[in-house]
Amino acid sequence: MHGGELSLIEALARRLPPAGPRVVRGIGDDAAVVLAGPVSVTSVDAAVENVHFRLAEGCASRADAGYKALASALSDLAAMGVAAGEAYIVLGASPGLSEAQALEVIDGVCELAGQFDVSVAGGDVVSSPVLSLCVTVVGWADSAASPVLRSGAAAGDLVGVTGALGGAGAGLALMDGRVRLEEELAAHVLARARRPKPRMDEGIALRRAGARAMIDISDGLASDAAHLARASGLTLEIDLSLLPLDRGVVQAAAQLGVEPWRLAAGCGEDYELCFCVAPAERTKIERSLAAAGGAGVRWIGEALGAGETEPEVRFRSEAGLVQMQGFEHRW
Amino acid sequence: MHGGELSLIEALARRLPPAGPRVVRGIGDDAAVVLAGPVSVTSVDAAVENVHFRLAEGCASRADAGYKALASALSDLAAMGVAAGEAYIVLGASPGLSEAQALEVIDGVCELAGQFDVSVAGGDVVSSPVLSLCVTVVGWADSAASPVLRSGAAAGDLVGVTGALGGAGAGLALMDGRVRLEEELAAHVLARARRPKPRMDEGIALRRAGARAMIDISDGLASDAAHLARASGLTLEIDLSLLPLDRGVVQAAAQLGVEPWRLAAGCGEDYELCFCVAPAERTKIERSLAAAGGAGVRWIGEALGAGETEPEVRFRSEAGLVQMQGFEHRW
Out of B80, B89, B136, closest to residue A30 by CB = B80
Spatial CB neighbours of A254, under 8 Å, sequence gap ≥ 6 = none
Enumerate the residues of chain B whose CB falls inside 8 A of the CB of residue A33.
39-41, 80, 141, 144, 147, 149
pLDDT of residue B138: 98
Residues A13 and A120 in one domain: yes
pLDDT tens digits for range B147-182: 999 999 999 999 999 999 999 999 999 999 999 999
Q: What band does A237 get if pLDDT is binned at 50, 70 and 90?
A: very high
- Confidence check: pLDDT of A224 > 70: yes
**CATH number of the domain bearing residue A270:** 3.90.650.10
Out of B29, B122, B123, closest to residue A150 by CB = B29
B88: in domain: yes
pLDDT tens digits for range A303-316: 998 677 788 899 99
Spatial CB neighbours of B287, under 8 Å, sequence gap ≥ 6 = B209
Q: Which of residues 131-170 of B touch A (CB under 8 A)?
A: 132, 134, 136-141, 144, 147, 149-151
Answer yes or no: do B39 and A39 touch at CB < 8 A. no
Using a CB–CB cutoff of 8 Å, tell me whether B324 touches chain A: no
Residue B183, min C-alpha distance to chain A (Å): 30
- Confidence check: pLDDT of A175 > 70: yes
Residues B136 and B53 in one domain: yes
Question: How far, in whole angstroms, is CA A190 from its chain's centroid?
Answer: 16
A330: in domain: no
pLDDT of residue A3: 52
Residues B37 and B136 in one domain: yes
Please choose, from the candidates B284, B299, B301, B275, the residue with its C-alpha nearest in 3D space to the C-alpha of residue B156. B301
Answer yes or no: do B40 and A34 touch at CB < 8 A. yes
Answer yes or no: do B92 and A48 touch at CB < 8 A. yes
Answer yes or no: do A42 and B76 touch at CB < 8 A. no
A329: in domain: no
Burial of B56 (0-12, 13-18, 19+ CB in 10 A): exposed
Answer yes or no: do A39 and B33 touch at CB < 8 A. yes
Enumerate the residues of chain B whose CB falls inside 8 A of the CB of residue A37.
36
Q: Which of residues 282-311 of B touch A (CB under 8 A)?
A: none
Residue A58, min C-alpha distance to chain B (Å): 23
B130: in domain: yes
Please say which residue of B141, B168, B198 terminates a domain.
B141
Residues A84 and A183 in one domain: no
Residues B166 and B301 in one domain: yes
First to last CA, chain B: 31
Residue B29, min C-alpha distance to chain A (Å): 6
Full strand arrangement of the beta sheet holding B320-322: B213-216, B273-277, B158-162, B297-305, B234-239, B313-317, B320-322
Alpha-carbon distances of A309 from A121, A234, B28, rounded to whole Å: 47, 9, 22
Using a CB–CB cutoff of 8 Å, tell me whether B251 touches chain A: no
Enumerate the residues of chain A whose CB falls inside 8 A of the CB of residue B43.
30-32, 122
Answer yes or no: do B31 and A52 touch at CB < 8 A. no
pLDDT of residue B331: 33
The answer to whether A235 and A229 have CB atoms below 8 angstroms apart is yes
Answer yes or no: do B30 and A219 touch at CB < 8 A. no
The answer to whether B304 and B237 have CB atoms below 8 angstroms apart is yes
pLDDT of residue B4: 62
Q: What band does B306 get if pLDDT is binned at 50, 70 and 90?
A: low
A327: in domain: no
Q: Which of residues 111-130 of A touch B (CB under 8 A)?
A: 121-124, 126-130
Q: What is the DSSP string of B299-311?
A: EEEEEEE-TTSPP
A150: in domain: no
- Confidence check: pLDDT of A86 > 90: yes
Residues forming beta bridges with residue A120, ordered by sequence position: A87
Q: What band does A64 get if pLDDT is binned at 50, 70 and 90?
A: very high
DSSP state of A45: E
For residue A2, the chain B residue with the least C-alpha distance is: B219
B150: in domain: no
Q: Which of residues 73-102 of B touch A (CB under 8 A)?
A: 76-77, 79-80, 82, 86, 88-90, 92
Answer yes or no: do A36 and B39 touch at CB < 8 A. yes
Domain that holds residue B67: 3-141
Q: pTM, whole model, 2 decimals?
A: 0.95
- Average of per-residue pLDDT values in chain B: 94
Using a CB–CB cutoff of 8 Å, tell me whether A34 touches chain B: yes
Enumerate the residues of chain B whose CB falls inside 8 A of the CB of residue A126.
46-48, 51-52
Enumerate the residues of chain B whose CB falls inside 8 A of the CB of residue A122.
42-44
Residues B190 and B134 in one domain: no
Using a CB–CB cutoff of 8 Å, tell me whether B52 touches chain A: yes
pLDDT of residue B330: 37
Q: What band does A4 get if pLDDT is binned at 50, 70 and 90?
A: low
Residues A116 and A183 in one domain: no
Q: What band does A331 get if pLDDT is binned at 50, 70 and 90?
A: very low
pLDDT tens digits for range A277-298: 999 999 999 999 999 988 899 9
Burial of B168 (0-12, 13-18, 19+ CB in 10 A): buried
- Confidence check: pLDDT of A128 > 90: yes
Residues B196 and B117 in one domain: no
pLDDT of residue B329: 42
Integer Cα distance of A164 and A247 in angstroms: 8
Domain count, chain B: 2
3-state percent helix, strand, coil for chain B, nearest multiple of 5: 35, 25, 35
Residues B164 and B109 in one domain: no
pLDDT tens digits for range B255-277: 999 999 999 999 889 999 999 99
A147: in domain: no
Using a CB–CB cutoff of 8 Å, tell me whether B13 touches chain A: no
Residues A136 and A167 in one domain: no
pLDDT of residue B110: 97
Average pLDDT over residues B310-331: 74
pLDDT of residue A265: 94
Residue A90, min C-alpha distance to chain B (Å): 7
Using a CB–CB cutoff of 8 Å, tell me whether A36 touches chain B: yes
- Confidence check: pLDDT of A326 > 60: no
Using a CB–CB cutoff of 8 Å, tell me whether A254 touches chain B: no
Alpha-carbon distances of A299 from A158, A161, A232, B157, rounded to whole Å: 7, 7, 19, 67
pLDDT of residue B155: 96
Integer Cα distance of B313 and B306 in angstroms: 10
Integer Cα distance of A19 and A42 in angstroms: 18
Answer yes or no: do A30 and B51 touch at CB < 8 A. no
Out of A1, A141, A214, closest to residue B219 by CB = A1
Residues A132 and A167 in one domain: no
Residues forming beta bridges with residue B84, ordered by sequence position: B139
Enumerate the residues of chain A whose CB falls inside 8 A of the CB of residue B3.
326
Q: Is the dihedral of CA A245, A247, A328, A203 positive or negative?
A: negative
- Confidence check: pLDDT of A12 > 60: yes
Enumerate the residues of chain B whose CB falls inside 8 A of the CB of residue A139.
31
Q: What is the DSSP string of A159-200?
A: EEEES-BSHHHHHHHHHTTS----HHHHHHHHHHHHS----H
Out of B30, B36, B44, closest to residue A43 by CB = B30
**CATH number of the domain bearing residue B32:** 3.30.1330.10
Residues A213 and A316 in one domain: yes
Integer Cα distance of B315 and B313 in angstroms: 7
Please say which residue of B115, B141, B167 terminates a domain.
B141
